[in-house]
Structure 1
Amino acid sequence: MASSSAFFIFILISYYSKKSYGEELNNKKFPKDFMFGAATASYQVEGAWNEDGKGENMWDHITHKVPSPIVNNDTGDVACDSYHKYKEDVAMLKEMGVDFYRFSLSWSRILPSGFDNEVNQLGVEHYRNLIKELRANNITPVVTIYHFDLPQTLQDLGGLQNDFFIDRFVDFARVCFREFGEDVKYWITFNEPWSICNIGYGFGWLNATAASPGIGEYLCSHNLLRAHAKAWRMYDEEFRNDQNGLLGITISGNWFEPSTNSSADIEASETLLQFTFGFYIHPIVHGDYPEVMRKNVDHRSALQGFSQSRLPKFTQDEVQLIQGTTDFLGINMYTSSLVTLEESDDISNISYTADTGVTSWQPEEWESSGSSWLKVYPKGARQLLKWLGTNYKGIKMIITENGYSDNDGELEDDKRISYYQRYLSNIRDAMEFDGVDLFGYTAWSLMDNFEWINGYSQKFGLYQVDFNSPNRTRTPKKSAKWYSKLTRTKCIVDDCTE
C-alpha cells in the first residue's frame, strides 16, 4: 500500500509539474543568457515623501487631497519605506537570485523644483547607494526615468499636455545620465505612455485631474514621444560612447482577442492593437502614427467641426527626430479583452474610445484576480508577443512587468504561481515557435506596494509587506520561493529539457 501510494503521489506531482489549471506547460528551459528580474517604482515603495530635500510630486499632492480620491485614504508617505530599507530590498532580490532589478527615479527627489537649476545631492546619493548595493550583489540595475510621479510644479503648468514638458524631461534625463550612467546600462525613458496619457489626461483618474477625452491623451502622447526621442538623441550624442548603455521605452496594454472569427472582429482586434501599441511604437519605428489612427481621428474631427485633427501631426523634422529612437522595447502585460466593431453614426462623442470604433470587454467566466481589470488569459501573452514581433521586426523586447494581484497578500499564493507558470509558458512558446526576440522577464512586483488609486488594497508582491508595522516587515511568499527556483533553473516546471 505504501509503495503504491508513493507511486500515485509521484505521478500526481509529475502531472502537476507539467500542467497548471489543466493547461499544458512548456518544459523547455529559457536560454542561458535570458534574464529574470523583479520591479518596483519610486512612489510606490520609497516613502520618505518630504525628507532630505525632496520636492512635492503629483502623487504627494493627490494623496493629500481632502477628500482623498485614494481607496482607504492611503498615501505613499511611508509606503514600503524603501528609501531607508533599500539594502533590505537588495537582500530580498539576492535571495531570489534575480539577474536585474527594475526601479524608477523620483524626479522631485533629484530635482526638487522640477527644473535642473537645483540638483538635490542627497537624492542623488540615495540612488548612487542603491545602484552600488545592487552591483555589489551582481544585480544589474534597469532604471526607469519617469514612472508616473511628475513634480507638482510641472503638473501645475499643464504637465505633459504642455509642450514645454519636452525639454524639462530632457534636462532631467541628462542629469540622470550624468550622475548614474557609468553604472547603468539599461535605461527606460517612460513607463506605460498609454497609462500616463489615456488614463491620466483622457480619463483623468491617474492624475486625479479634469478629464480631457479625445484631446488630452493625444496632446500628452505627442509631447511624450517627442520627449522620448529628444532624450534618446541626447544620450546618443553626449553619453553613449563613454557609457555604452541601451535606452528604450516601456509600453503596455491588453491583448485584444477577436470575439468571433469574422473579418469584422479580426479588424476590430487589429484596430485596437494599433490604437494601443502602434500609437507609440509606430512613430518610433516608422516616424508617424498608424494609418488607422490617422484616418479615424482625422475623419471624426472633421465631422465634429474641428478646424484641424485632434491627433496632432509631426513635422518632417520631427519624423526624422523620432524614427529609430529605441534600442529595445519594454512590454508590460497582464491581461486580455475580447473585441468587436461598434457600428455608430453618432459623432457627438469626442473620445479616444469613439475614435477606435471598437468595443472591448472581459467575459465573466475568465478567471479573476484581486483587480477588477485583471482577468487571467495566459494565451494572450503569446498572441501579443507574436503580433509585436511580426509588426515590428528587428526590435529586441523585454517583459518589463507581468504579475497577479490578490487582496490580502496571503503567503500561500498558489494562484500567483499558477499565473506566472502559465504566462511564462506562453512567453516561452512565443520565443520557441514564433521567433520572438525576447531577452528578459520582470515580475511585478518585488513586494506589495502602493497601487495608485487603489492604495494598498491590491497586492502584487512576491514578498508580503506588513503596512501596519513601523518596520514594514517583509516576508517571502510561496511565489518568491518558486521564483527563486525559476531564476536558478531557467525552468517553469520541475522537469525541463534544454
Structure 2
Amino acid sequence: EEFDYYADVCFKAFGDRVKYWTTFNEPNLFTRLAYVLGKYPPARCSAPFGTCESGNSHREPYVAAHNMLLSHAAAVHNYKKNYQATQGGSIGIVIAMKWYEPLTNTTEDILAARRALSFEVDWFLEPIFFGDYPREMHKLLSSNLPKFTSEEKSLLQKNKADFIGINHYTTIYVKDCISSPCDLKAYEAYEANALVLATGERDGVAIGRPVRTASI
C-alpha cells in the first residue's frame, strides 16, 4: 500500500513528462545483495553466505522479493487504471541478468544452468507474466518460498508490464551441486540456493575477457 501511494504521487507529479516508468531497477540483484550476502542495507544474511548479525539467507530474500513483486503489480494496476490513457506512457521493470552455461555437457550441469537462470531471472519474470514462481524454486525452497493467494495471482496476471528492461552483465559457467557436493565459500555463494556452483573458468580457461570497472 505504501509503495502504491508513493507511485501515485510520482504519476501525478511527473506523468505529463515521464513516458517510461520503471517500478524497480534490478530487484533480483538488490534482494540477493541485501538479504542473501548482506552487502547492502539492511545487511541481513546467514551462513554460508555471510556473517551478518542477524538474518536468514534461505528465507528472507524470497519474502522481500514477494513484497516487491506485489508492490510492482499494485503500481502497474494504478498506472494502467488511472493514468495511462491520459498520460500515454508505459510501465515496466528492469531485471539484472547473468547468462549461465553448463560447465560440462552432462545432464546434471545442463539442468543446473537452467536452474540457475530460474533463480536469477525467472524468479521475478514468471510471477509477473504467469502469476507464480518457477517450478525449480518451489521444489528446492519448499516452505521458504512464499505463496501467492488467488487474489495476488490475479493482480499479477491482469496487470502485466508493458516492457521488461534487461541489464546483462556477464555470462558464467555453473556446476551441479545436487548429484555431487560442492565446497561453497561465502564469496561463491551467490547462486548457492539454486544448488549450483558458478565459475568463470573451464579447465583453466576463462569464459571470456575480464572487464575492469572503475569505482566512482
* TM-score interval, normalised by the smaller of the two chains: 0.7 to 0.9
- Assess if the C-alpha contact under 8 Å between 2:93 and 2:161 holds in 1: yes
> 1:286 and 2:124 equivalent?
no
> 1:231 and 2:75 equivalent?
yes
Counterpart in 1 of 2:48? Answer: none
- Between Structure 1 and Structure 2, which shows a larger proportion of strand residues? 2
The CA RMSD measured in Å over matched residues stands at 2.0
- Assess if the C-alpha contact under 8 Å between 2:23 and 2:92 holds in 1: yes
Counterpart in 2 of 1:255? Answer: 99
Distance between the aligned counterparts of 2:40 and 2:119, measured in 1? 19
- Assess if the C-alpha contact under 8 Å between 2:191 and 2:198 holds in 1: no
Distance between the aligned counterparts of 1:345 and 1:311, measured in 2? 24
- Assess if the C-alpha contact under 8 Å between 1:201 and 1:217 holds in 2: yes
Counterpart in 1 of 2:20? Answer: 186
Counterpart in 1 of 2:193? Answer: 355
Offset of 1:352 from its aligned partner? 7.7
Distance change in 2, residues 1:208/1:313 (3 Å): closer
Structure 1 runs not aligned, ≥5 long: 1-166, 299-308, 371-404, 408-454, 457-498
Q: Deviations over 1:48-84 (max 9, x none)?
A: xxxxxxxxxxxxxxxxxxxxxxxxxxxxxxxxxxxxx
> 1:336 and 2:178 equivalent?
no
Amino acid at match of 1:368: P
1:177 to 8, 11, 16: 11
SS of alignment partner, residue 209 of structure 1: coil
- Paired residues, number: 195
Paired-residue identity, %: 36
Distance change in 2, residues 1:169/1:291 (3 Å): same
Distance change in 2, residues 1:219/1:325 (3 Å): same
Q: Deviations over 1:154-184 (max 9, x none)?
A: xxxxxxxxxxxxx221111111110110111
Distance between the aligned counterparts of 1:226 and 1:232, measured in 2? 10
Moved over 3 A (4+): 351-355
Distance between the aligned counterparts of 1:228 and 1:210, measured in 2? 23
1:277 to 107, 121, 146: 121
Structure 2 runs not aligned, ≥5 long: 46-54
Offset of 1:369 from its aligned partner? 1.9
Amino acid at match of 2:140: N
Offset of 1:240 from its aligned partner? 1.1
Q: Deviations over 1:349-379 (max 9, x none)?
A: 9x88443121111126332222xxxxxxxxx
> 1:311 and 2:145 equivalent?
yes
Offset of 1:259 from its aligned partner? 1.3
Distance between the aligned counterparts of 1:261 and 1:359, measured in 2? 15
State which structure, 1 or 2, has the greater radius of gyration over its C-alpha atoms.
1
Distance change in 2, residues 1:254/1:248 (3 Å): same
Question: Which has the bigger relative contact order, CA under 8 A and spacing at least 6?
Answer: 2
Counterpart in 2 of 1:368? Answer: 210
